[in-house]
Homo-oligomer: A and B are copies of this chain.
Amino acid sequence: MDAADAATNEVRAVAERARAAAAQLAPLPRRAKDAALLAMADGLEAATERVLAANAEDVRAGREAGTSEAMLDRLALTPDRVRAMADGLRHVATLPDPVGEVVRGSALPNGLELRQVRVPLGVVGIVYEARPNVTADAAGLCVKSGNAVLLRGSGSAYRSNTALVDVLAEAATAAGLPVDSIQLVPGADRASVQALMQARGLVDVLIPRGGAGLIQAVVTGSQVPVIETGVGNCTVYVDRWADLDKAVAIIVDAKTTRPSVCNAAETLLVHEAVAADFLPLAVKALRDKGVTLHADPRAAAYDDSAVPATDEDWAAEYLSLDLAVGVVDSLEAAVAHIRRWGSGHTEAIVTRDVDESRRFVRSLDSAAVMINASTRFTDGGEFGFGAEIGISTQKLHARGPMGLTELTSTTYVVTGDGHVRG
């Protein structure tokens, strides 16, 4: 048996245990799940020193391996960060239980009573990078939605995640949840992800969270259904009827408030009718924030330090203080550009014209469209979902920010009195 077979067997064993746990988790009432979440939060805080010690080893190993300071900062835990994870679990306990919600229902003409009821998905696999806080967040959301969770974090955080899952699983089990409701996938190499992706029939869905490379690998390699998340090449289009001051505020917000996240803007398109008025204002405001523009020839006329934009720029998810800028002849040209180059995450139009905003919305094919608002609002917290497991950029099952509801499926329950179809 080679290493890949060993990983497959080990992961399948873990997945089978998760499956058994899922069957017991599904019918649990809200009270039992909330009690477990609060116990997990308390257990985590009580184990702060143990978690920090494991994390310190990960950070030391990362530093020795030459990991960048930015990555080390994402990896590093502090007492405050541990407390924030615990508070996150307590917050999830306050959210409504999605399981049992009746999505639709009716009395059929023959007297049958039809209800479509939310149920857990079953076994949810999360494949993610760096940040150990995802471990606690994902575990909490899966517990609340009645799913067993398989956590496969990055190798660089393996010690941290092992400590976190030990603590969380122990607290959950002590509070009455089925054993194996929360498990770390053994192994930190590619083989464990491969084995997860082959576990069709055992794992109900895989959610990759991380960079484009990780997501693409899971999306194309998995036999298990996948929810694609997070790549965001978002565009702000400044229409000819835009309020230019609002447009400046929106592009500065969308580009600079947190450049490393998927809802940050990566492209700015400007209608030619307002380019001469708008671009000087925008260029100044963006350069004051340290933004480098990658401009097409018409936009470059307003920024003598701009870099010429290539196809790579239109396609780029920079995740940095870089912005591709172009001038377009019409709303249709902006839409065509977005359809060609965008990732279908979030686009924004700045306009005072109702017809233009309607046309923009109806011509696009993105998870979210903002009218006179920053792309940065595409977020489960901002949308009022209370928590977020990721942002889906696919069209099946879930699109846009995913909360607890998106971690459920449904079952039809039909009640009769001896009804036959005959």
- Give the interface centre of A23, A365, A366 by most chain B CB atoms within 10 Å: A365
Of the listed stretches A160-168, A296-304, A408-416, name the one at the interface; the rest are far from the partner chain.
A408-416
Whether A66 sits at the interface, judged by CB under 8 Å, is no
Specify the chain B residue showing the minimal Cβ separation from A406: B396
Q: A205-B395, A367-B412, A413-B371 are in contact. Are A421 and B253 (CB under 8 A)?
A: yes
Q: Are B421 and A376 in contact (CB under 8 A)?
A: yes
Report how far A66 CA is from B399 CA in the complex, Å. 48
Closest 5 pairs (CB-CB, A-B): A373-B416, A246-B418, A253-B420, A395-B409, A27-B362
Q: How many copies does the complex hold?
A: 2
Report how far A395 CA is from B27 CA in the complex, Å. 17
Contact residues of A between 383 and 415, Cβ < 8 Å to B: 383-384, 394-397, 399-401, 409-415
Q: Are A374 and B421 in contact (CB under 8 A)?
A: yes
Q: Are B413 and A365 in contact (CB under 8 A)?
A: no
- Give the interface centre of A122, A373, A401 by most chain B CB atoms within 10 Å: A373
Q: Are B249 and A420 in contact (CB under 8 A)?
A: yes
Report how far A376 CA is from B420 CA in the complex, Å. 8
Q: Are B377 and A421 in contact (CB under 8 A)?
A: yes
Which B residues touch A422, using CB under 8 A?
A: 253, 257
A-B contact pairs, 25 of them (CB 8 A): A26-B362, A108-B383, A114-B384, A116-B400, A205-B396, A225-B225, A246-B417, A246-B418, A249-B418, A250-B418, A250-B419, A253-B421, A357-B415, A361-B411, A361-B413, A367-B411, A369-B411, A371-B413, A372-B417, A372-B418, A373-B415, A376-B420, A377-B416, A377-B419, A395-B409
A17 to chain B, nearest CB (A): 15
